[in-house]
Amino acid sequence: MAEIGFYHLTRTRLEEALPRLLGRVLAAGGRAFVLCAEAERAKALDAALWLAADPDWLPHGLAGGPNDALQPVLLGTEDAAPANGARFLVLVDGADSARLAQFDRVLDLFDGGDEEAVAAARRRWAVAKAAGQALTYWQQGERGWQKKA
């Protein structure tokens, strides 16, 4: 059963927070799949990851390419087993997966400035809690991510 961490973005946009979180996954030797709700968002995040300053190199690709299995980070919109064998799943913009149990860790990132996104995250939390998932809640603070009780 996956550990699900809810990441409440309150200080930066997703395009700024995502590279740092993915950098941590890669530094720990992990692989990630970023599940986006829309193809245009996946393309925009792909571009943002190439331009990220921290970390300054974040190897990744859009799912559906010939080298998907080699990519440490894949971005896509299809809720299927990732071709890169990722054990980390990153959910953005309200994307949801029926495959949570196939991952070691799930990061659910949501925009704290968007009331609908916060309400949707609360609903996902309630569903996961009712299913007996291990949950953590993180909120951005002045010194980075702070784990809340």
Calculate the alpha carbon distances from 132 to 96, 101, 143 in Å. Answer: 17, 12, 31
In tens digits, the chain (149 residues) has pLDDT values of: 789 999 999 999 999 999 999 999 999 999 999 999 999 999 999 999 999 998 989 999 999 999 999 999 999 999 999 999 999 999 999 999 999 999 999 999 999 999 999 999 999 999 999 999 999 999 999 889 999 96
Where do we find the tokens 């998932």? Answer: 133
Burial class (CB in 10 A: 0-12, 13-18, 19+), 24: middle
In a 3-state reduction of DSSP, which class is residue 10? coil
pLDDT of residue 96: 93
Task: Classify domain 3-115+126-148 at the CATH topology level.
Answer: Rossmann fold (3.40.50)
Report yes or no: 108 and 121 within 8 Å, Cβ to Cβ.
yes
Question: Domain spans of the chain?
Answer: 3-115+126-148
How much is the pTM?
0.96
**Sheet strands (E) in 45-104:** 61-62, 73-76, 88-91
